[in-house]
Amino acid sequence: MPARKPNPVTSSKVKALAKAKLETPLTARAKPAPAPRRRKPVDRATVAEVFRRFRAANPEPKGELEHVNPYTLLVAVVLSAQSTDAGVNRATRELFRLADTPQKMLALGEDGVRERIKTLNFLNTKARNVVALSRRLVEEHGGKVPSSIEVLQTLPGVGRKSASVVANIAFGEPRIAVDTHIFRVANRIPLVATDNPLDTQEQLERIVPEEFRLNAHHWLILHGRYVCKARRPECWRCLIRDLCRYEPKTPAP
Ligand code: SF4
């Protein structure tokens, strides 16, 4: 039987493919890494047990931002962006002694506010927002802080998270504002499987039983700040250790 001649078209195609493969960097050829598998959130009964334990350990949790009325709470929340509560409290003790109403804050003016919050970051923007929101409160709301999240969000420097914090603490709205601590804790246990704070808030407000919803924000934030820390969660002393699916748990030092 005569030997089969190589097909010139096919063989040139094969050569071209082999050449392309050789010239393609290894990283470009590598298959993309599979997306990390999200852990399934715990069931509703476990969610309830998590908050039952938080409540038993701390029946009346409090936020750590110092304030004397809804207005000073609103200002403290606006100042707390990218700053610690302790840092904000150091700055606001003097600020609120001088100005605990929007009218007094307007009288103090942007320079006066800036002078009192100079230890905080983004002080120019924050001072401008504090004065601008005070002006809006005086001109449009009779000097009062509105209780509606939608209206709060229209004030300068007030986003959804800040509005939810104010509505929750000052007006008893069962809203669960999600900051970096709550986002981390909620996805570690996991109470939810989310990749952004907005979805986290929506899901938490849906799954946390009503009896715990008002204080859930405080419990989760305090847990994240003092126990379930970002770099090294202190699992060995965590009161929900047996309910949490995060692995590996941190052993006692
Ligand atoms: S067991 Fe560890 S990871 Fe889980 S909630 Fe407690 S501190 Fe966080």
Three-state DSSP state, 237: helix
Residues 6+ apart with CB under 8 A from 181: 220, 221, 223, 224, 225, 228
Alpha-carbon gap, residue 152 to 36, rounded angstroms: 37
- Specify the pLDDT at position 27: 43
Domain boundaries defined on the chain: 44-61+175-237, 70-171
**Residue 8: which residues within 8 A CB-CB, separation 6 or more?**
none
Whether the predicted model's global pTM rises above the 0.85 cut: no
| 108 in Cβ contact with 129 (< 8 Å) | no
- Average pLDDT along the chain, 253 residues, taken 10 residues at a time: 47 48 42 62 98 98 96 98 95 97 98 97 97 98 97 97 97 96 97 96 97 98 97 98 97 94
Q: At the top level of CATH, which class does the domain 44-61+175-237 belong to?
A: mainly alpha
Best residue for ligand 1 mutational test, from 189, 236, 237, 247 (most atoms within 8 Å of Cβ):
189
- Any residues with Cβ below 6 Å from ligand 1, and which? 188-189, 227-228, 233-235, 238, 240-241, 244, 246, 249
Q: Check residue 59 and give its pLDDT.
A: 98
Q: What is the pLDDT of residue 3?
A: 47
Nearest to 175 by CA among 146, 144, 204: 204
The answer to whether the CB of 169 falls within 8 A of the CB of 221 is no
Domain range 70-171, CATH architecture: Orthogonal Bundle (1.10)
Q: What is the pLDDT of residue 22?
A: 39
Entry field: residues in the chain: 253
Cα(6) to centroid(ligand 1), Å = 65
**What is the pLDDT at residue 31?**
55
